Amino acid sequence: MVAGAALVWGFSGARLAADASALGRVELQPFAGSLVSVRARGADGRAIPLVVSHGRLTPRRRVAPGERISISVVVRRPGWESWALGSERRETLTVRTPVAKIVNRWVSANGTRAAVRFDTPVERVSVAGAAVSGRNVTLPTKTPAGAFMVAAAARPWEKLGRPARVTWFPRSKRPVVLASPGPQGRADPLSPIRLTFSAPVSRVLHGASPAVVPRVEGRWTTVDDHTIAFRPSGNGAAFNSDLSVHFPAPLLVAGATGKDARTTKNLQLSIAPASFLRLQQLLAQEGYLPLDWTPAHGVAHPTMRNEVSAAVNPPAGNFQWRYPGTPRELQALWQPGAPNTITSGAVMMFQDEHQLAVDGIAGPQLWHAVLADAVAGKRRTDGYSYVYVHRNVPQLLTLWHNGQTVLTSPGNTGVPAAPTPLGTWPVFEHIPVGRMSGTNPDGSHYDDPGIRWISYFHGGDALHAFNRASFGTPQSLGCVELPLDSAATVWPYTPIGTLVTIED
């Protein structure tokens, strides 16, 4: 009797069988009786309404692929069983919804179509215009190469699953590499270079990495079996330069959409130039201009990558004069976004203070230093000086610093045979004492040792002290001569890069 009851108990339950289109199929065992109810809950505990037809279970709302679903089944036993074993039997069954995975993520396009295969039949995909046939899906392509993010649902009652990237390539006898940026493309100095190959990277490159020429600080990283990326570090490539990526053997090299495809061993790229406007913005922020600069909008955190990006694409903003009463002579020299004497002087001052060659040219070393100071938040605190000299008699020199006139002193400019030229120039040499020699207008030579407080600003013309009986009239050979006390006051305010204007 006990053995018989155990046998009936063992064959009076239900099990969940797989089904080609439904969530599953409830199969009742021989002594199970009839199905009373079926309820389903998702992994989050929420109820999932079901349609039950001939034991087949279909969700009324879409569920996610790979979701774990618990199904509670209630079975009513026949009368003779219910007397011994109870009228109902409850079972909890678990099923996981199917997940369709792409088998071939890197494919060759045939005309305007690319064929993708899944590991299980699919009902639909996320790409508009795709043709679905069992496990095979044909994707429409409008370019010779490219990529889709493809999500699929294996059943009508499923949501689309997690998308996977599918890349297609033009047909070629050689391996194909899609580059971003593409051939002849322009990149920022720190922009990554992404290469996607039609065959596994290990097979195409034989374990070696492409060579970047000229050498750029950075490293290659593996994105997936078919994709690698070069990520520059430090300051990256030089602004306004050419860059090549060398492959060990010829490939069909193209842009990400197949544009500009040709067989070659080299991917040629150009690095974008730095913006002159951004140089002015940074020099203003770092205290080398008589202007401040304020961004129009919030700016990104000052990392080197953000600063390099802004150097190529400068943010919007406004310049303002730092000091009230800025001399009109100085204001007339300023032009945002274009080379001007104020910027040249600031560049020279920055170069001198950072032990760089003082040439007034914004070359790679200057940009590296300017960007590094921007990242570090450094700012020059010595203020801004400006010197202007009137040639009309009585000749006067005015020293202006941080919005204040520090000194007005008589001085001597050049005689008619050797006049001090009109214009504005930055100081390029700054020495406390030196020897000055040359040729007089009559052809004789002069040699004056021990000249004090010299600031050269134009060729052999300089601000300096000189012993004269009087000052305020043309007496020099092009220099601006000052009394000793005045020259001693002016000299500390005229480091390299300080502007000197000569005017009538």
Q: Which amino acid is at 267?
A: L
**The domain spanning residue 429 has which CATH number?**
2.40.440.10
Last residue of a domain, one of 52, 76, 96: 96
**Distance between CA 163 and CA 104 in Å, rounded?**
14
**Distance between CA 366 and CA 280 in Å, rounded?**
13
Same domain, 58 and 135: no
**Distance between CA 340 and CA 332 in Å, rounded?**
10
Return the SS3 of 158: strand
- Token couple for 64: 């996610």
Whole-angstrom Cα Rg for the chain: 40
Task: Classify residue 127: in a domain, yes or no.
Answer: yes
> Any idea what DSSP says for residue 501?
E
Same domain, 391 and 496: yes
Task: Classify residue 398: in a domain, yes or no.
Answer: yes
Same domain, 453 and 359: no
- CB-based contacts of 274: which residues, under 8 Å, 6+ apart? 239, 240, 311, 312, 362, 367
What's the residue count for the chain? 504
Among residues 408, 402, 404, the alpha carbon closest in space to that of 388 is found at 408
Same domain, 224 and 153: no
**Distance between CA 4 and CA 21 in Å, rounded?**
38
Task: Classify residue 470: in a domain, yes or no.
Answer: yes
Domain count, the chain: 5
Same domain, 402 and 496: yes
* 8 Å CB contact between 259 and 176: no
Task: Classify residue 266: in a domain, yes or no.
Answer: yes
Same domain, 145 and 42: no
Same domain, 326 and 368: yes
**The domain spanning residue 71 has which CATH number?**
2.60.40
Same domain, 264 and 282: no
Task: Classify residue 101: in a domain, yes or no.
Answer: no
Among residues 461, 459, 448, 452, the alpha carbon closest in space to that of 491 is found at 452
Same domain, 320 and 406: no
Q: Which residue do the tokens 């605190």 mark? A: 381
Q: What pLDDT shows up at residue 24?
A: 83
Same domain, 400 and 498: yes
Task: Classify residue 434: in a domain, yes or no.
Answer: yes
Q: What pLDDT shows up at residue 252?
A: 97
* 8 Å CB contact between 18 and 95: no
Same domain, 113 and 85: no
Which regions in the chain score pLDDT beneath 70? 1-14, 29-33, 77-88
Last residue of a domain, one of 73, 96, 119: 96
Task: Classify residue 308: in a domain, yes or no.
Answer: yes
Among residues 416, 415, 407, 360, the alpha carbon closest in space to that of 388 is found at 407
**Distance between CA 370 and CA 354 in Å, rounded?**
10
Last residue of a domain, one of 376, 395, 419: 376
The domain containing residue 141 runs over which residues? 106-169
**Distance between CA 34 and CA 36 in Å, rounded?**
6
Task: Classify residue 433: in a domain, yes or no.
Answer: yes
Same domain, 397 and 423: yes
Q: What pLDDT shows up at residue 86?
A: 46
**Distance between CA 372 and CA 362 in Å, rounded?**
14
